[in-house]
Amino acid sequence: MDNKLEIIILAAGQGTRLKSAIPKVMHQIGGNALLEHVITAARHLTVAEHITVVYGHGGETVPNALAHTGVQWAKQEQQHGTGHAVAQALPHLKGGGTVLILFGDVPLVQPATLTRLVSAAGQDSLAILTVELDNPYGYGRIVRNETGAVARIVEEKDATPQEKTITEGNSGVMAVPHQLLARWLPQLGNSNAQGEYYLTDLVGLAVADGVSVKAAKVGDADEVFGVNNREQLAYLERVYQARLAQRLMAEGVTLRDPARFDLRGEILEHGTDIEIDVNVVLEGRLTIGARVKIGPHCVIRNASIGDDTIIEAHSMIDAAVIGAGCRIGPFARIRPETHLADHVHVGNFVELKKSNVAAGSKINHLSYVGDSTVGAGVNIGAGTITCNYDGANKHQTIIEDGAFIGSDTQLVAPVRVGKNATIGAGSTITHDAPADALTLSRSKQMTLQGWKRPQKSSVKSGE
């Protein structure tokens, strides 16, 4: 961490080409706002109090949404260009060190690259991060003189046809000693194609002042790829996901197809020999134990999964804690505040909500269990429903250890099924069922001997 380093992040622009009601920098990749990615990179270099974000378009929604980052905010009421934006941040800076300028719509920039640029600027130089591009369209171009030294930056809209052939582009990232920045900003003009105060004109001012301009080239163009439209947003999402997938594989996780894997959040902790099949979406914050298998088309959000658990295809798990050695799905839905102990089985078309299920219990087919406490070694038969809601309030169902619930039972809460109790199939249980006994509610079966089915009338109507 560099105590003398301060960082400005420009994030006031509208992002017209996204055609969105949401400010550009709040669009997401990997489940986090573009701007949050940039703040995270900046936080690798300095403390939050030394980071100032220039916001404007979208008003307070941006600082409100990212208040938890602890950065400083400077408002740019009207967007008169990147140079004007930096000028809005200047009063918030302490000064005396280097200032690093980042863009809120360039989310994948790496801390190591930024550190390299800051050292290039040193005490007395202007350092810019440039990139060699196959298609430099839209980028400012780095104009060099006969000796190869950087002379100035020209924006796409101001460039001559000759200048447009230059393939070295401006990433927008720049490092500059504070006192030089403070000297040059008031000298920026806006007589250009867009009538804006261009930050890029600092380069020409530096050259005029005899200050050296260092250009550091970034190897990977995706690192400085900016988002201006939804196609670019989708492109960067894939770049980002490919990086996450690569990292997970390096850490011992099998991905059946890294191109069909999405992590929108972060895996806080994971074991090895995990197998993740195609089209799995992981969201929020996750912990995944060793040897866990996740079948195709599962969505798992804010969950913790114990070692050796198998999650079969098309299951959804949301804000739940799953123990070790469990079997979930296919087609299971585990909703928030559910806690499964070890070796629990949850089968197809089973929905669990706000329930605790103790070790070794089985809920294998077509059931709804909500607001319940289920003991250990319980077997819940097919089609069992806890009727937890009376239209006004939610009530608890308690099923004690070793109970056996026959198929197609309704447990009308509040209700308790005692230890080792058995409930006969097809029962509607409205009162507590005692331990170690059979309880059932069922109308008596009867048979009518000699009964005949009605016959179809042979006389055709209308004749």
Two structure tokens written together for 398: 């308690």
Distances (CA, A) of 453 to 83, 445, 449, 456, 457: 89, 19, 12, 10, 12
Binding ligand UD1 (rule: CB under 6 A), the pick from 30, 63, 140, 360 is 140
Given 80, 92, 270, 365, the catalytic residue: 365
Q: Which is nearer to Ca ion, 6 or 105 (CB)?
A: 105
Distance CA 35, CA 107 (A): 7
The window from 221-229, 282-290, 334-342, 354-362 that contacts Ca ion (CB under 5 A) reads 221-229
The window from 25-33, 225-233, 250-258, 363-371 that contacts Ca ion (CB under 5 A) reads 225-233
Residues 307-366 within binding reach of ligand UD1 (CB under 6 A):
none
Give the chain's length.
463
Q: Is 31 in the site for Ca ion (CB under 5 A)?
A: no
Q: Is 226 in the site for Ca ion (CB under 5 A)?
A: yes
The percent helix, strand, coil of the chain (3-state, each to 5) is: 20, 35, 45
Binding ligand UD1 (rule: CB under 6 A), the pick from 71, 74, 100, 105 is 105
Q: Which is nearer to ligand UD1, 202 or 399 (CB)?
A: 202
* Cβ atoms of residues 83 and 187 within 8 Å: no
Total residues in contact with ligand UD1, by rule CB under 6 A? 28
The window from 100-108, 178-186, 212-220, 242-250 that contacts ligand UD1 (CB under 6 A) reads 100-108
In which order are the strands placed within the sheet that holds 253-255?
A: 253-255, 274-276, 293-294, 310-311, 327-328, 345-348, 362-365, 379-380, 404-405, 422-423, 438-439
CB of 88 to Ca ion, least distance (A): 18
Binding ligand UD1 (rule: CB under 6 A), the pick from 7, 8, 12, 245 is 12
Distance CA 382, CA 349 (A): 10
The window from 126-134, 220-228, 241-249, 291-299 that contacts Ca ion (CB under 5 A) reads 220-228
> Cβ–Cβ contacts within 10 Å for residue 292, how many?
24
CB of 20 to ligand UD1, least distance (A): 13
Let me know if 339 is a catalytic residue. Answer: no
Q: 325 contacts which partner out of ligand UD1, Ca ion, none, CB within 5 to 8 A by kind?
A: none
Distance CA 335, CA 316 (A): 8
* Cβ atoms of residues 381 and 366 within 8 Å: no
Distances (CA, A) of 155 to 100, 158, 190, 274, 395: 21, 5, 13, 48, 65
> Cβ–Cβ contacts within 10 Å for residue 149, how many?
12
The window from 193-201, 252-260, 341-349, 393-401 that contacts ligand UD1 (CB under 6 A) reads 193-201
Residues 40-79 within binding reach of ligand UD1 (CB under 6 A):
54, 76, 79
Binding ligand UD1 (rule: CB under 6 A), the pick from 10, 118, 311, 380 is 10
DSSP string, 196-240: ---GGGHHHHHHHTT--EEEEEES-GGGGPPP-SHHHHHHHHHHH
Two structure tokens written together for 174: 């720049």
Q: 13 contacts which partner out of Ca ion, ligand UD1, none, CB within 5 to 8 A by kind?
A: ligand UD1
Q: 355 contacts which partner out of Ca ion, ligand UD1, none, CB within 5 to 8 A by kind?
A: none
Give me the 161-190 binding string for ligand UD1, x by CB under 6 A, dash otherwise.
--------xxxx------------------
Q: 381 contacts which partner out of ligand UD1, Ca ion, none, CB within 5 to 8 A by kind?
A: none
Catalytic positions are 365
Binding site residues, Ca ion, CB under 5 A? 226
Binding site residues, ligand UD1, CB under 6 A? 10-13, 54, 76, 79-82, 84-85, 103-106, 139-140, 153, 155, 169-172, 198-200, 226
